[in-house]
Amino acid sequence: MLGGSASNEEIHDSVVKLLAIPADVAEVPHSNGSMTALAYRLHWARTYLKKVQAVDNSQRGVWTLTTIGRAMSAEEIGDVVRRVRVEDAAQRKARASVSNGDVDEGEGEGDGAAWSERLLAVLKIMRPDAFERLCQRVLREAGFVKVEVTGKSGDGGIDGIGVLRVNLVSFQILFQCKRWQGSVGASTVRDFRGAMIGRADKGLIITTSTFTPDARREATRDGAPVIDLVDGDDLCQLLKDLKIGVTTKLVEEIEIDEAVFAAI
């Protein structure tokens, strides 16, 4: 259906369509308030599938079905959660034996999704002006120049303006950055578009939350200026890729080649 690869957004929309999930159900917020319950479950589903090498993801957040994933039966897919938890428990036990028991006895859910949840929790308690400055830095690190936070109220939700240079071409872009509770709806996208028409080439909305399917459709509606959307997951990935407050540590793995010693 999706050709073996898909973005988070495409996966979400396909699941909603395939399972005929009503809009009000798809938009039910998760208890932590940073994403919908559906987005949360899909987040973990991708993490579990990656742990069993059924899928892989690029730095741009595109998920690809692997050869292993294509060959998995329905029974094997249904056993993924149990399998991952057993493997995680075995790994914790092995680490405990090496470190004399000084390990974190978690529930075996893994850190693949947990880091973004912790990051979103931090972002949600930032002051509004601090979050605007963070978004300003993200845009600069991503290649924008002349990024200004206007901070004007009653301006159709516009929080700032920047210029994105792509080779020899420049685009003036208005942006909105908010820490919404719950999902961002289509009305927010329409209001923002109405405020930006005639003032910039493109628009960008950044949030720690999620966008409803209606909002995503409105953002790319035929005959209207396209509004690019960055949700909480996208923002976490951007901060990780740009190394803004997120550090990736590589774990050293040592292997012993016994053949070397046997050949001496």
Would the pLDDT of 112 be above 60?
no
Q: What pLDDT is recorded for position 144? A: 85
Strand partners, 205: 176, 229
pLDDT at 229 over 90: yes
- C-beta of residue 32 within 8 angstroms of C-beta of residue 188: no
Q: In the structure, what pLDDT confidence band is assigned to residue 106 with cuts at 50, 70 and 90?
A: very low
Domain ranges in the chain with CATH number 3.40.1350.10: 127-241
Lowest mean pLDDT among 50-64, 121-135, 236-250: 50-64
How would CATH label the architecture of 127-241?
A: 3-Layer(aba) Sandwich (3.40)
- Rounded CA separation 179/158 (Å): 14
pLDDT, average across residues 9-16 = 86
- pLDDT bucket at 108, cuts 50 / 70 / 90: very low
The enclosing H or E element of 257 equals none
